Amino acid sequence: MQRKAVRLHQRFFVTMLYNPRKYRFFGLLPAILLLASAAAFGQSGRVSPTPVPTPTPEPELKISTQEIKLNVLAFDEKGDFFKDVTPNDLVIREDNILHQPASVRYIPANVLIVMDTGGEMRAVKTLDRTRKIALALINSLRPDDKVAVMAYANKPQILSSWTLDRATSRAAVNSSNFGTRSAFVAALDMAATMLTRTENDNAQLVLITDGTDSTATAAQKTAAFDRLRAANITVHVLSYAAMEAADIEPRTKGVTNSPPPKAMPDQIANDLPNGARDVAKAPKAKTFVVDRPFLKKLKARETDLIASEKQLEKLSEDTNGEFIGSMSIDEMEDKTSLVGRMIDSSYVVTYVPKMPVTAEHGVAERHIEVTSKRSGLVVQAKRNVLLIEPKAPKP
């Protein structure tokens, strides 16, 4: 039986070898399945290559060739206005790079007068004094200068728009009102907007102010100054800040030489009996302040005034304007006409910078000086400007 089984096995084996047509499929099936399994296993364990991104072309660097405008004051050797200045008379130095002016024009100015008529703690800056200074400035300007008047206290307000009618401008000044707050930063932004919307390239801003703001932060004030510097506006300042700081300084120590408010008018005191009249009209001694919260508020006010004085002076210097920071109100009033003379001695000069602003950075600061090549011509033009490239509209 065992031998018979062996023979059958051998016959089956021989039949598979020598009858390929009959058993080809069944004999190759296990091999095919084995190879397919191996291929599937190999594919499941293979790491796919990381696709290489298509390189994007470098964006084209856009260069702005914007024209720069600045005001140049021109005088003769006697200090009078110098007429008929030409581009060949001037040399422009921008960041120590020489430039030739593209144009030099004398244009009657657009003068915006901004009056500070508010504030909680003020001793020198009164509404009457501010009006008096504004009126003196209007009277000092040439008849062909257009004037607009703005005042600010709790909020800025345009009292009169651009006009050649001096009576209208004076009436606007006299219509200004007192307020308890000081919206200085809001007034600067409104002034910048109003001046940049005019078509006149000779834009002149005159600030009669102490430069303090009731609510704005130091960063907000700095940003407002930068916007003015970037707007091609010449800023002149008649500042109360130093006088206000000098008045407040003794009181920050708890002592004041200022007499206390009178308990009664002089007319009533004069009618008192001799003894009582003498007491009522006798000179008062120094006043001592012991209110610590109030003293702290006074010191903060003094610090703000000192900082504002420096900021206003820097703003006028950067924009080639005149700064009047007097220590007396009489001196301030006397020098008001100087601001008018500076405004009416101004030429508008343009040039194209050799180192243009790139759209990649968008903002650049330039230090500009102008000198004279013409005998007898004295020019004043030293300006730090911010050049801001406008953003391209989105497609």
11 in any annotated domain: no
Structural domain includes residue 379: yes
Q: Specify the pLDDT at position 63.
A: 44
Report if residue 42 sits inside a domain: no
- Which residue segment(s) compose the domain that 176 sits in? 67-248+313-388
Per-residue pLDDT, 354: 87
Rounded to an integer, the average pLDDT of 78-82 is 94
Average pLDDT, the chain: 81
Q: Looking at the domain assignment, is residue 198 inside a domain?
A: yes
Q: What pLDDT is stored for residue 62 in this prediction?
A: 45
Nearest CA among 252, 254, 257 for reference residue 284: 257
Give the number of domains in the chain: 1
pLDDT band at 107 (very low <50, low <70, confident <90, very high): very high
In a domain, 123, yes or no: yes
Question: Do the domain assignments include residue 206?
Answer: yes
CATH number where 320 lies: 3.40.50.410
Q: Tell whether 5 is covered by a domain.
A: no
What percent of the chain lies above the pLDDT cut of 70? 70
* Contact predicate 340/141, CB 8 Å: yes
DSSP 322-353: -EE--SSHHHHHHTHHHHHHHHTTEEEEEE--
In this structure, is residue 253 part of a structural domain? no
What are the CA-CA distances from residue 236 to residues 191, 207, 215, 218, 323 (Å)? 13, 6, 24, 21, 6
Write down the pTM of the prediction.
0.73
Find the mean pLDDT for residues 309-316. 96
Confidence of residue 306 (pLDDT cuts 50, 70, 90): very high
Residues 149/137, Cβ–Cβ less than 8 Å? no
* pLDDT over 60 (residue 273): yes
Q: According to the per-residue pLDDT averaged within each range, which of 26-30, 67-71, 169-173 is highest?
A: 169-173
pLDDT greater at residue 294 or residue 32: 294
Q: Which range scores top for mean pLDDT: 13-17, 56-60, 247-251?
A: 247-251
What is the mean predicted confidence (pLDDT) over 134-152?
98
Could you report the per-residue pLDDT of 157-188, keeping only the tens digit for each? 999 999 999 999 999 999 999 998 999 999 99
H/E segment holding residue 226: helix 218-229
